[in-house]
Amino acid sequence: MSGALDIRPMQRADVEAVAELCGQLGYPATPEHLEERWTVIAGDRGHEVLVAVDAGRVVGWLHVSVRPVLESDRTAEICGLIVDANVRGAGVGLALLTAAERWAAAAGCDAIRVRSRIARERAHTFYEREGYVRVKTQHVFEKPLDSP
């Protein structure tokens, strides 16, 4: 990294860089498609998308949301976190995670959770190092819906 890292809310100007990083995570998206998704999220106070900027370049992002459910107290969930492959291990992920934890605490959450694909062993090590505890293993089911 070349400069001081800035963590801030995502802006419309960040869409192209965030879309490119989505591809690195394995979820390719066009800037147009990503902008549609972000516009919905940006209008919801229960969500925050943070970007990490180094020398004017977006090098990571994190999406966190409040997840109110009946079966537990108010929690936040990290919906996505990606750091550019060229700067992994330089503290970008930790800076984003710390900012998300502060946001969640300010939103009245008692805990923050993250789900991570089984194959992402490096991510698991990162979260455990930062005090996250594995609380369960689960299967995720999905069913495509017909559009009305």
Rounded-to-integer distance, Cα 36 and Cα 95, Å: 26
Res 1 pLDDT > 80: no
DSSP 82-117: EE-GGGTTSSHHHHHHHHHHHHHHHTT-SEEEE---
pTM for the predicted model, two decimal places: 0.92
CB 10 within 8 A of CB 61: yes
Residue 71 buriedness (CB in 10 A; 0-12 / 13-18 / 19+): exposed
Q: What whole-number percentage of the chain has pLDDT above 90?
A: 78
Q: Token pair 């591809």 is at which residue?
A: 23
Spatial separation of the C-alpha atoms in residues 1 and 3, rounded to whole Å: 6
Contact 53, 4 (CB under 8 A): no
CATH fold label, 5-129:
Aminopeptidase (3.40.630)
Give the confidence band of 77 by pLDDT, cuts at 50, 70, 90. Answer: very high
- Return the residue matching tokens 């990490």: 52
Give the start-end residues of each E strand in the chain.
5-9, 47-54, 57-67, 75-83, 111-114
- Amino acid identity of residue 134, one-letter, is R
Query: How many CB atoms lie under 10 A from the CB of residue 76?
Result: 25
User: What residue type is 115 in one-letter code?
Assistant: R
Q: Is the pLDDT of residue 72 over 90?
A: no
Domain boundaries, the chain: 5-129
